[in-house]
Structure 1
Amino acid sequence: MSDDKPDGLREAALHYHEYPRPGKLEIRATKPLANGRDLARAYSPGVAEASLEIKDDPGNAARYTARGNLVAVVSNGSAVLGLGNIGALASKPVMEGKAVLFKKFAEIDCFDIEVNEPDPEKLADIVCALEPTFGAINLEDIKAPDCFIVEQICRERMGIPVFHDDQHGTAIVVGAAATNALHVAGKAFEDIKVVSTGGGAAGIACLNMLLKLGVRRENVWLCDIDGLVHEGRGNSTPQKDAYAQGDRAMGLGDVIAGADLFLGLSGPGVLTPEMVGKMAERPIIFALANPTPEILPEAVRAVAPDAIIATGRSDFPNQVNNVLCFPFIFRGALDVGATEINDAMQLACIDGIAALARATTSAEAAAAYKGEQLTFGVDYLIPKPFDPRLMAVVAGAVAEAAMASGVATRPIADLGAYRAKLNESVFKSALVMRPVFEAAATAERKIVFAEGEDERVLRAAQAMVQETTDVPILIGRPEVIAARIERAGLVIEPGRDVELVNPENDPRYRDYWETYHRLMARKGVSPDLARAIMRTNTTAIGAVMVQRGEADSLICGTFGQYLWHLNYICQVLGADDFHPVAALSLLILEDGPLFIADSQIHPTPTPQQIAETVIGCARHIRRFGVEPKIALCSGSQFGNLDSDSGQRMRAALALLDSETRDFVYEGEMHVDSALDPELRARVFPNCRLEGAANALVFASTDAAGATRNILKMKANGLEVGPILMGMGNRAHIVTPSITARGLLNISALAGTPVSHYG
Structure 2
Amino acid sequence: LLFKYLGGVGAFPIMLDTQDPEEIIQAVKWIAPGFGGVNLEDFANPKCFYILDRLRKELDIPVWHDDQQGTASITLAGVINALKVVGKDINKVTYCVIGTGAANIAFVRILLSAGVPEGNVIMVDSKGILHPGREDLEKNQDKNPYKWHYAQVTNAEHRTGDMTEAIAGSDVLIAASKPGPGTIKQEWLRAMNKDAIAFIMANPTPEIWPWEAKEAGVRIVGTGRSDFSNQVNNSIGFPGIFRGTLDVFAKTITDEMAIAAAYAIAETAEKKGINDNYIVPTMMETEVFVNEAVAVGMKAIEQGIARRILTADELRHEAETKIRHAQAETKILMDAGHIAPPPRD
TM-score range, shorter chain: 0.7 to 0.9
| Change in CA separation of 1:426 and 1:116 when aligned onto 2, cut-off 3 Å | closer
Kept after mapping to 1: 8 A contact 2:159/2:165: no
SS of the residue corresponding to residue 278 of structure 1 reads: coil
Q: CA deviation at 1:279?
A: 0.3
Q: CA deviation at 1:247?
A: 6.6
Structure 2 Cα separation of the partners of residues 714 and 196 of structure 1: 45
SS of the residue corresponding to residue 262 of structure 1 reads: strand
The aligned counterpart of 2:65 is 164
The aligned counterpart of 2:285 is 387
The counterpart of 2:45, out of the listed 139, 144, 147, is 144
Q: How big is each residue's C-alpha offset from its partner over 1:227-275, in whole Å with a ceiling of 9 and x where there is no partner?
A: 1122232333321122224777501112221100011010123221101
CA RMSD of aligned residues (A): 2.0
The aligned counterpart of 2:343 is none
SS of the residue corresponding to residue 290 of structure 1 reads: coil
The counterpart of 1:336, out of the listed 226, 230, 248, is 248
Map 1:581-592 → 2, pairs under 5 A = none
**Matching residue's letter, 1:394:** E
| Change in CA separation of 1:126 and 1:715 when aligned onto 2, cut-off 3 Å | closer
SS of the residue corresponding to residue 13 of structure 2 reads: strand
**Matching residue's letter, 1:356:** T
The aligned counterpart of 2:78 is 177
Point out the structure with max Rg over C-alpha: 1
**Matching residue's letter, 2:147:** K
The counterpart of 1:313, out of the listed 198, 220, 225, is 225
**Residue 238 in 1 paired to residue 145 in 2?**
yes
The counterpart of 2:203, out of the listed 290, 297, 306, is 290
**Residue 349 in 1 paired to residue 250 in 2?**
no
Q: CA deviation at 1:126?
A: 1.2
Structure 1 Cα separation of the partners of residues 235 and 294 of structure 2: 16
Q: How big is each residue's C-alpha offset from its partner over 1:697-752, in whole Å with a ceiling of 9 and x where there is no partner?
A: xxxxxxxxxxxxxx9x9589xxxxxxxxxxxxxxxxxxxxxxxxxxxxxxxxxxxx
Structure 2 Cα separation of the partners of residues 714 and 295 of structure 1: 41
**Residue 420 in 1 paired to residue 338 in 2?**
no
The aligned counterpart of 1:257 is 168
The aligned counterpart of 1:19 is none
Unaligned runs of 5+ in 2: 138-143, 338-345
The aligned counterpart of 2:141 is none
Q: How big is each residue's C-alpha offset from its partner over 1:311-348, in whole Å with a ceiling of 9 and x where there is no partner?
A: 00111001111111101111111111100001221121
The counterpart of 1:221, out of the listed 122, 126, 131, is 122
The counterpart of 1:106, out of the listed 4, 7, 11, is 7
Structure 2 Cα separation of the partners of residues 715 and 422 of structure 1: 26
Unaligned runs of 5+ in 1: 1-99, 361-374, 429-588, 591-710, 717-758
**Matching residue's letter, 2:313:** G
Q: CA deviation at 1:277?
A: 0.5
Structure 2 Cα separation of the partners of residues 307 and 131 of structure 1: 46
| Change in CA separation of 1:335 and 1:301 when aligned onto 2, cut-off 3 Å | same
Q: How big is each residue's C-alpha offset from its partner over 1:168-195, in whole Å with a ceiling of 9 and x where there is no partner?
A: 1000000100000010010112111111
**Matching residue's letter, 2:279:** L
Kept after mapping to 2: 8 A contact 1:199/1:224: yes
SS of the residue corresponding to residue 189 of structure 1 reads: coil
Q: How big is each residue's C-alpha offset from its partner over 1:95-145, in whole Å with a ceiling of 9 and x where there is no partner?
A: xxxxx2111111211121111211112211111111111110111110011
Q: How big is each residue's C-alpha offset from its partner over 1:370-421, in whole Å with a ceiling of 9 and x where there is no partner?
A: xxxxx52110100011212123211011111111110001222x43133123
Kept after mapping to 1: 8 A contact 2:260/2:299: yes
**Residue 358 in 1 paired to residue 270 in 2?**
yes
Kept after mapping to 1: 8 A contact 2:68/2:102: yes
Under a length normalisation based on structure 1, what TM-score does the superposition of the two structures give? 0.41
**Residue 205 in 1 paired to residue 106 in 2?**
yes
Structure 2 Cα separation of the partners of residues 425 and 388 of structure 1: 13
Q: CA deviation at 1:303?
A: 1.8
Kept after mapping to 1: 8 A contact 2:72/2:110: yes
| Change in CA separation of 1:121 and 1:398 when aligned onto 2, cut-off 3 Å | same
Q: How big is each residue's C-alpha offset from its partner over 1:456-511, in whole Å with a ceiling of 9 and x where there is no partner?
A: xxxxxxxxxxxxxxxxxxxxxxxxxxxxxxxxxxxxxxxxxxxxxxxxxxxxxxxx
The aligned counterpart of 1:194 is 95
The aligned counterpart of 2:215 is 302
SS of the residue corresponding to residue 253 of structure 2 reads: coil
Map 1:273-672 → 2, pairs under 5 A = 273-304=186-217, 307-360=219-272, 375-412=273-310, 414-427=311-324
Kept after mapping to 1: 8 A contact 2:222/2:230: yes
Under a length normalisation based on structure 2, what TM-score does the superposition of the two structures give? 0.88
Map 1:673-692 → 2, pairs under 5 A = none
Kept after mapping to 1: 8 A contact 2:172/2:196: yes
Structure 1 Cα separation of the partners of residues 159 and 89 of structure 2: 29
SS of the residue corresponding to residue 206 of structure 1 reads: helix
**Residue 120 in 1 paired to residue 21 in 2?**
yes
Q: How big is each residue's C-alpha offset from its partner over 1:678-710, in whole Å with a ceiling of 9 and x where there is no partner?
A: xxxxxxxxxxxxxxxxxxxxxxxxxxxxxxxxx
**Matching residue's letter, 1:157:** E
**Matching residue's letter, 1:117:** T
More displaced 10-residue stretch of structure 1: 185-194 or 384-393: 384-393
